[in-house]
Chain A
């Protein structure tokens, strides 16, 4: 029981548009039923377009709070609107109402309401799904409601469900498509990870964002490797990225050239390893390398 541990691999990139999700989906196909997939990039969830989940089971997800006014008890004193720093309680048609887009859920209005007409309710923010995907493997993913925000809590929930399935099915890997940026959701994507695969591109902003996100990874002492996508678009920038990888002892996993195969595969609803392309062999090689590194790290 304790010798076979699950390897959790998180695919991350500081900014969007680097090909992170395309690569994470390709590794998911290569891993097949050995892995459970967790899509934590819930702000712009796209992985389902390539992995074809069946959305079989869903659960409503609540995050944060929202003030609700009971108009029957409200005495229209306006104290709530006075204390609200977010202008979230406009007075319209002789009623104080909460503007859900503006309410931050701080609860100050509830505290000052003399007639106890305000309660804080959990805010529904989306749905979490457990699906079977085209590899017959399991994927946990989420869909946010319009204007709802991703949170560390949602990412933690997606990862927890994925881990439960991995444990129950004796899986070797969890592949996590991580959240963008450097905030709370990223920290939540990273916790528990055995290895991070960074995906970047050779542009000025690519390197800038890579450095920022690596600061977070370093704080949690997680081993990382990096794939430079579209590496041939700017060789000088690619070299600069490689120098950064060397100085930080980040594994340089591969340079992938710009290739239209990514978009032609995507149009067919496939990952790049499911169509005829020279990239297929390269990605198989990278996935083999990642497996080797994580297995070594995990047998202490």
Chain B
């Protein structure tokens, strides 16, 4: 299963980026292969408008099963993400990626 985090940095100790559309990075962890991949989102982050929908398109290409983020996607991005068969968890923005993952495993994250 692929779990994507919006991340302010590139390591497990980085904080969750509270933003969806303008997140700095995506960290994607595959818990079957234990493989971690980092996606740079800076191209989208620099868009004046429409960052939410542009990032949603990117997420579609990554195709994670679970998305863990902070404040949650805005209205437009949420509409786009509905097209994907994916579980979304929010309010993880005071956690590191590792803490967010542990909380997710223990069922302590809030679903959207």
Partners in one complex: yes
Contact A192 B18 (CB under 8 A): yes
Bitwise, B40-66 to A at CB < 8 A (1) or not (0) is: 000001111101000000000000000
Contact A153 B48 (CB under 8 A): yes
Give how many B residues have a beta carbon under 8 Å from the other chain's beta carbons: 21
Contact B72 A221 (CB under 8 A): yes
**Roughly how many angstroms separate A191 CA and B51 CA in the complex, as a whole number?**
13
Most buried by B among A187, A191, A221: A191
B90 within 8 A of A: yes
**A: number of interface residues (CB 8 Å):** 22
Query: Which residues of A (115-170) have their CB < 8 Å from a CB of B?
Result: 151-153, 156
**Interface membership of B10, Cβ < 8 A:** no
Whether B48 and A192, one on each chain, are in contact in the complex, defined by CB atoms closer than 8 angstroms, is no
Contact residues in A for B70 (Cβ distance below 8 Å): 191-192
* B49 contacts A221, C-beta separation under 8 Å: no
Residues on the B chain within 8 Å of A194, using CB = 94
Bound complex: CA A153 to CA B22 (Å):
8
Mask, A207-245, CB within 8 Å of B = 1, is: 000000000000111100000000000000000000000
Q: Name B18's closest neighbour in chain A (CB-CB).
A: A192
Q: Does residue B111 face the partner (Cβ distance < 8 Å to A)?
A: no
Chain B residues within 8 Å of A, Cβ to Cβ: 18-19, 21-22, 45-49, 51, 70-72, 74-75, 90-91, 93-94, 96, 99
Query: Which are the 8 A-B pairs with shortest beta-carbon distances?
Result: A192-B18, A64-B48, A220-B71, A63-B48, A151-B48, A191-B19, A191-B71, A153-B48
Jot down 27 A-B pairs with beta carbons below 8 A, ordered by A. A2-B96, A2-B99, A5-B94, A63-B48, A64-B49, A151-B48, A152-B21, A152-B22, A152-B49, A152-B51, A153-B46, A153-B47, A153-B49, A187-B74, A188-B22, A190-B71, A191-B18, A191-B70, A192-B18, A192-B71, A192-B93, A219-B75, A220-B72, A221-B71, A221-B72, A221-B90, A222-B71
